[in-house]
Structure 1
Amino acid sequence: MAKYLLLKHYRGAPEPVNNVPMDQWTPQEISAHIQYMNDFAAGLEKTGEFVDGQALAPEGQWVRYDGEGRPPVTDGPFAETKDLIAGWMIIDVDSHERAVELAGELSAAPGAGGKPIHEWLEVRPFLAAPPTVTECPH
């Protein structure tokens, strides 16, 4: 088994086919989208492939080390940006092919008009742990 991160981008590049911004969806369309995501996760829980997942709020801040103990903070990222991380799911699957298959299914979540949004998802394997040293070289 190998863990993969399925990273969900909001209006990322390349653009999804059904590119209606989520702030223009009806409450019913948002509910249908969230229900799809919940049902998808529940199905993976049954197969033992679901590890965790979360949706992210559009508000955020950028923070970095400043060398003086007071990290600078700026507003953003903003929902108007071209690429905003909307959420993520961690899966534990037998193969890279299975991770890609599941990402394809997740991409079919409904959006405006109930049509699949065909969004692009990033599929990223977790970095494997470095080998451990079992004997001292001395």
Structure 2
Amino acid sequence: MRYLLLKHYRGGPDPVTDTPMDQWTPQEVQDHFQFMSDFAAKLVASGEFVDSQALAAQGTFVRYDGEGRPPVTDGPFAETKDLIAGWMAIDVDSYERALELAAELSAAPGAGGEPIHEWLEVRPFLTAPPPTVTE
């Protein structure tokens, strides 16, 4: 079963993470990314790793306007309270294993080297079209 572990970056003070990443020291940022790399290497060794990516804070929203000229809006912005920071795709035997790995990933170090206990979103990959409702 494949799952997406979706990491959210909270850009403002948060009772859980306390210090936003843009205020971490370079060493704290390096330690955080090393933890992520080591975690991915462990999943490669166990055969549970599929892929991962970190995402930049900048982005653009686009949608179809019905006339062929899509409106484009800048965002999200780093000053927002919550944006997607990255993701890791895993292939595990069970939902419980996905939760176990998400909890471990949540312990990545932050300011002062302390675990940040960040919330991760765990989503299964859609493997078949959703069922249609018949009346």
The verdict on a shared fold, with TM-score over 0.5 as the criterion, is yes
Matched, 1:33 2:29: no
Matches within 5 A, 1:5-24: 5-11=4-10, 15=14, 17-24=16-23
Aligned residues: 128
Aligned to 2:133: none
Aligned to 1:76: 75
Indicate the RMSD between aligned Cα atoms, in angstroms.
Answer: 1.5
CA contact (8 A) 1:5 1:91 kept: yes
> Aligned partners of 1:57 and 1:99: how far apart in 2?
25
CA contact (8 A) 1:63 1:74 kept: yes
> Aligned partners of 1:21 and 1:87: how far apart in 2?
16
Aligned to 1:135: none
> Aligned partners of 2:118 and 2:65: how far apart in 1?
36
Q: Deviations over 1:100-133 (max 9, x none)?
A: 00000000000000000000000001112249xx
Give ranges in structure 1 of 5+ residues lacking alignment.
132-138
Matched, 1:106 2:101: no
Give ranges in structure 2 of 5+ residues lacking alignment.
131-135
Q: Which has the larger radius of gyration?
A: 1
Structure 1 residue ranges (4+ consecutive) displaced by more than 2 angstroms after TM superposition:
none
Q: Alignment partner of 1:128: what SS?
A: coil
How far the C-alpha of 1:68 sits from its partner, in A, is 1.5
Aligned to 1:44: 43
CA contact (8 A) 1:65 1:71 kept: yes
> Aligned partners of 2:129 and 2:30: how far apart in 1?
42
Q: Alignment partner of 2:31: what SS?
A: helix
Q: Deviations over 1:37-87 (max 9, x none)?
A: 000000000011000000000011111111111211111111111210000
Distance change in 2, residues 1:107/1:16 (3 Å) = farther
> Aligned partners of 2:18 and 2:124: how far apart in 1?
27
Q: After superposing the two structures, state which structure 1 stretch, 25-34 or 65-74, moved more.
A: 65-74
How far the C-alpha of 1:19 sits from its partner, in A, is 2.0
